[in-house]
Structure 1
Amino acid sequence: MPLIPPRDIRVQPYFGFRNAQRLIVDARVLRGSPPKFDLSGGWRTFRTMLRLYNSHEVAEHPVTLEVEAPDGSRQSHELVSGKEGYCHFEIDLAPARPLPESSAWEAVTFRWSDARGDHCVAGHVLAPGADDAAGVISDIDDTIVETGVTGGVRSVLRNWRRLFATMPSAREPVSGAELFYEALGGGVDEKGDEAGDAMPASRRPFFYVSSSPWNLYPYLVAYMRSRGMPIGPLRLRDWGFDRRTFGKSSHGSHKTDAIDAILSLYPERRFALVGDDSQGDLTAYAKVLERHPAQVSGIFIRKVGEPFTPEEEAAKQAVEATGVPLYIGQSWDEGHEFLAEAGLGGSEDAKTVVEATEQEGGE
């Protein structure tokens, strides 16, 4: 019987980010071709989604990250993929690379070899502008895209079609999210757009922190692009289908750890935190505020779940006691009005989230 040749090995880059001294970017070594989200038809959609979740990881495979400096010199860093195929690069930039005047995406290269030969793929790293514009850290599920998963495993079963059989462009957005996020992002930097950048950055650097699995990374990026949402690095996590996946405590610890890492990389920058109450975001953000009181400019929570738990009520009171502006509402339509009242009416005339929240907070 003839041997069936193995499927092609590919590297899936994930969006990275850097400051002047340090660069963080991840990738994953997989078998099979990238997903295509332009297919139509229920069965083809289901097969595409099934392939996303049922990924075929390649462990112990060497991957080289190549970073080019402005003077043309290159740094190379090699890692071997872990048991789930992940490579996490966290490197010192030598010499240091000053941040650009305004936020911009920069290219890096991933290289690997297999039986077919040598290969490379481009990755993208966000360099927030040296102008110190306020940043935004946002949740994803039920914050920008409706999932209906607010009650654990049973909710997943009730919403299986939405989660497993809908293409990104057909997913239902959270009401008001597009306008609200346009205001938060401040629009696309005109200089970067005029320069013909393949990925012009929003004026305010955006980061997304979610407990969704890394398998959904290409799907979530495709959704954001289809809705004109600000694009930014995604900090997701690896998980399997068990009860621990859906616990609020596990969601919260992942988010606080990821947000801590972002804030630590940009200690002089302030961030607005945006989320919902379906996965303990308010409690997680209150902990972040306690640890980084000078870096949180405002907290925005969409109310979608049951009444607040005692822990969430305590978190709400703790945030209010600090004087940091806290918005809690049913939709981002109301949140957009809140931003307008605070002086952040739209992308064309918005200045910074920091200015808006300082006005509201009376600093």
Structure 2
Amino acid sequence: MKEFGQPPFPDERKISLKAKVKFYFLKFLRLTDRPVVKVYRGFGNDEHLKVYGHVFRRSALPRRKYRDIDFVNLLAVIRLFLVRPYAKALVRVRYGEQVMEVLADNDGCFQVELPLASSLSPGWHRVLVQLISQTLTPEAVLAEGEGHVLIPHPTRYMCISDIDDTFLVSHSATITKRLLVLLTENAHSRMPFDGVVAHYKMLAEADNGLHVSNPFFYVSSSEWNLYDYILEFSQKNGLPDGVYRLSKLKRLSQVLKTGKGKHHTKFDRIVQIIDTYPTRQFILLGDDSQEDPIIYESIVRQYSQQIRCVYIRQIHIEHKVRTQSLMAQIEEQGVASCYFVHSADARKHSIAIGLVGR
């Protein structure tokens, strides 16, 4: 593919009609068929860094404009599901002198736990990930990407939050409403729940005494296809900066199942975070539209000494009785809980239990 402004096909006679159609189709949807390494925000402690991402043969270019036009928004989302993973690719992860190689899985996903020779200062640390050719000699780097890994400041609390219908209005309980919002809105036109950003900022400052934010981890059943979409929404609306752990990549044929990841994997991702920081206390935030109350009650049973409070937003009235029962079980484990409709009530609860100041 030539650079912008240059003829796409130097010798038109050698290019098939199929190749031309593909070229202009990709160009129209702002897709690239060049190898791409996508590195997500990772996290670590004094012993290791957790680095993860995807490698693609075809992927979407970053969105440059946010026009609130249904058709434009539809195409912008659809192209996120037209990705083509680079299966079983050889990936090299580098931080300073620390290097590790791993094969991506069939979805092009790689996850590396990179050991550290010495502890790092708190903050974000840059990592480099390279896609290495397994056929060319000498060795060739086909693509590379940069990412950042968080070493949290030694604050008392960490926050783990769901995304859809916890802070982002998504209508997850009704697939038609969820798809309508996802496909016709964009990261700039969609809205958070009233008051949720103020509550999250309050929790970010809760009892740290260090003039730094308590770290946030956003763990969701939404798929990795929507990573940039969710990140853009979070930044635009001023949510606390954080690490994102999403669900398995989906293809276009699976769009109707968007947001329907396996919930046991969400449990596993939360456990991985808690196990990485065994001396910290956690604040869990979710909603009752799917399985958050069940997952969080299970987390509390396993880690009651590390869970400070559980917040569940009431979205689905049909789940109210079940959720109330689960919240009672959480309280029986000695963990504070709040089942709320409005974020203002959650903020009042945080103040009432001494989690934050007035």
Q: Give TM-score scaled by structure 2 length.
A: 0.81
CA–CA separation in structure 2 for the residues paired with 1:244 and 1:8: 28
Which of residues 55, 60, 65 is equivalent to 2:83? 55
Asked if the contact 1:280–1:312 (Cα under 8 Å) also holds between the matched residues in 2, the reply is no
Asked if the contact 2:288–2:314 (Cα under 8 Å) also holds between the matched residues in 1, the reply is yes
1:35 aligns to what? 62
CA–CA separation in structure 1 for the residues paired with 2:98 and 2:351: 45
Asked if the contact 1:300–1:326 (Cα under 8 Å) also holds between the matched residues in 2, the reply is yes
2:38 maps to a residue whose letter is Q
TM-superposition CA deviations, 1:109-143 (whole Å, max 9, x none): 112356996543210101011x2421000000000
CA–CA separation in structure 2 for the residues paired with 1:179 and 1:119: 40
- 1:171 equivalent in alignment to 2:190: yes
CA–CA separation in structure 1 for the residues paired with 2:256 and 2:141: 42
1:360 aligns to what? none
Any stretches of 5+ residues in structure 1 without a counterpart?
Answer: 69-73, 193-201, 351-363
Which of residues 324, 328, 332 is equivalent to 2:335? 324
Residue correspondence of structure 1 range 1-363 to structure 2 within 5 A? 2=15, 4=19, 7-30=33-56, 31-36=58-63, 38-40=65-67, 41-68=69-96, 74-93=97-116, 95-98=117-120, 100=121, 103-113=122-132, 118-129=142-153, 131-150=154-173, 155-186=174-205, 203-238=213-248, 240=250, 241=254, 250-251=262-263, 253-308=264-319, 312-344=323-355
Secondary structure in 2 matching 1:168: coil
TM-superposition CA deviations, 1:169-208 (whole Å, max 9, x none): 1111112111011101129x9999xxxxxxxxx6101111
Asked if the contact 2:125–2:150 (Cα under 8 Å) also holds between the matched residues in 1, the reply is yes
Secondary structure in 2 matching 1:326: strand
Q: May I ask how many residue pairs the two structures share in their alignment?
A: 321
Asked if the contact 2:48–2:114 (Cα under 8 Å) also holds between the matched residues in 1, the reply is yes
TM-superposition CA deviations, 1:208-253 (whole Å, max 9, x none): 11111111111111110001111211111116539987779x32x2
CA–CA separation in structure 1 for the residues paired with 2:292 and 2:111: 25
Change (3 A) 1:80 1:162: same
CA–CA separation in structure 2 for the residues paired with 1:191 and 1:335: 24
1:268 maps to a residue whose letter is T
2:180 maps to a residue whose letter is R
CA–CA separation in structure 1 for the residues paired with 2:217 and 2:259: 22
CA–CA separation in structure 2 for the residues paired with 1:139 and 1:317: 20
Asked if the contact 1:8–1:33 (Cα under 8 Å) also holds between the matched residues in 2, the reply is no
Q: CA deviation at 1:330?
A: 0.2
Share of identical aligned residues, percent?
Answer: 26
Decide which moves more: 202-211 or 108-117: 108-117
CA–CA separation in structure 2 for the residues paired with 1:62 and 1:237: 22
Aligned-residue RMSD, C-alpha: 2.8
Change (3 A) 1:310 1:173: closer
CA–CA separation in structure 2 for the residues paired with 1:254 and 1:264: 15
Change (3 A) 1:120 1:315: same
1:180 maps to a residue whose letter is H
CA–CA separation in structure 1 for the residues paired with 2:216 and 2:322: 28
1:255 maps to a residue whose letter is K
Change (3 A) 1:142 1:34: same
